[in-house]
Amino acid sequence: MLGENDGPSMLSYAASGAQYGIGFFLPFIAVTFGAAYVVQEMAMRLGAVTHRGYGELVCQRFGPFWGWLTAGDLVVTNLITLITEVIAIRAGMAYFGLPAWVAALSAVLLVGVSASGGRYSRWERVAMALALFNLLFVAAAWLTHPSVDAMAHAMATWTPLPTGKASDILLLLASNIGATVTPWMLFFQQSASADKGMTPRDIAQGRIDTGIGTVLAALAGCATVVAAAPLFTHGVDTTNLQGGTGFAEAMLPVVGRPAATLFAIGLIEAGAVAMLTISASTAYAVGEVIGGAGHSFNRSLRDAPAFHLANVGMAAVAAAIVLIPGMPLLSFALNANLLATVLMPPALLFLLIMANDRELMGARVNRRSTNAVAIAIAVLVTLAGSVAAIVAFVGTFQ
């Protein structure tokens, strides 16, 4: 769940706070993490019961065509998202004066080194150690001295509502939804649960684990909005951040060096953790749809070449693209989350069907209450992605 607080997510939350303050987006982001819990719990339960990853199960349940289609969509989405993870690492390192190529190289090396031990447990420990630094955003928010009364009012009333250009607001809404409920999450959560060796006896603890992750990730996500909100209250123009996503630099004269520095380090962490999890979800998807291919961190490069090459290769391609001069980095990050929102409904539909398949799940199929909430989430994601995409399309002709 902490992997959901990736680079584009934190940049999306920061953009929300910097452009509109804490009023509406603080409670809205908290609710999206509740939706993410529902989706991740289903994926975890599927992996624990079937011992198969998402891509493998789609291939077996719906046929190779749908397996390859979902995997192909995921690879494209993940490449775009991985680009934004390198952007976040680059933005954080730029605050400390490090060049872009250092960020790109570091991102690729992290993915390669973490997978080199030949054990899922080793990979997981690296990811967990990095994920703890996501809470730096909470410390950064605290150092901005936010008003407790204002935060409580926002959580209780969801006001003030954002005003301004409808397309900009809809893009942020869809981006914030796509920051927590994402296609790669399904592949990673289910496949990692199977790779870890979870069984039906572990489901109860898996729910606790996912619940704890939800609370921590929501806390860090909301804290990012709070940390960037002083840019809104001080009337800082955020349009000049499009090129370098320099939120930390913009925060420096407003909230001071300690908060800005923690924010910059947090961006590096967010991108780093997501480099691991999203690259892994790509590797799982590729390995699972290729018949007979190994798809586990417990296998060596020789035993699972497609898995490991996809894991590191996607990271390398993303890092190379970020080094292209003149990239509109913040716009790229927000639209990456929008793409995740648009492509999420089909993946969520397959998940719902499989989670209700008694032949697969036996007595551990979805409860009626889970189905009701999951269907509501699917409708919300579909509407958000569709409306934002239509408004953006119409806007190109105005």
DSSP result, 156-185: HH--SPP-S-HHHHHHHHHHHHHTTS-HHH
Helix axes 257-289, 64-95, angle to 10 degrees: 160
pLDDT at 9: 85
pLDDT at 243: 44
DSSP result, 272-319: HHHHHHHHHHHHHHHHHHSTT----TTS-TTT-HHHHHHHHHHHHHHH
Buried b (16+ CB within 10 A) or exposed e, 127-150: beebbebbbbbbbbbebbebeeeb
pLDDT at 244: 45
How far apart, in Å, are the Cα atoms of 219 and each of 89, 112, 119, 255?
21, 30, 31, 20
Contact criterion met (CB below 8 Å) for 5 and 270: yes
What is the pTM for the complete model shown? 0.86
Question: Mean pLDDT, consecutive 10-residue segments, the chain of 398 residues?
Answer: 84 88 92 94 95 89 87 85 86 88 92 82 86 92 93 92 80 81 86 91 95 94 94 79 66 90 91 90 84 74 83 91 75 69 85 94 94 92 78 57
Q: Report d(CA 237, CA 268) in Å as an integer.
A: 23
Q: Tokens 């790509």 map to which residue?
A: 282
- What does the block give as tokens for 268? 């590096």
pLDDT at 333: 63
How far apart, in Å, are the Cα atoms of 64 and each of 38, 195, 349?
27, 21, 17
- What does the block give as tokens for 216? 């921590």
Task: Please name the amino acid found at residue 150.
Answer: A
Q: DSSP E strands: which ranges in the chain?
A: none
DSSP state of 366: P
DSSP state of 357: -
Q: Report d(CA 391, CA 172) in Å as an integer.
A: 12
**CATH number of domain containing 171:** 1.20.1740.10
* Number of domains, the chain: 1
- What does the block give as tokens for 157? 């009333």
pLDDT at 241: 61
Contact criterion met (CB below 8 Å) for 47 and 55: no
- Side-chain half-sphere CA neighbours of 46 within 13 A: 31
- Domain extent at residue 91: 2-395
Q: Collapse the DSSP code of 385 into the 3-class scheme (helix H, G, I; strand E, B; otherwise coil) and give the result.
A: helix
How far apart, in Å, are the Cα atoms of 328 and each of 211, 240, 243, 247?
36, 11, 5, 14
pLDDT at 160: 86
Q: Tokens 């929102």 map to which residue?
A: 341
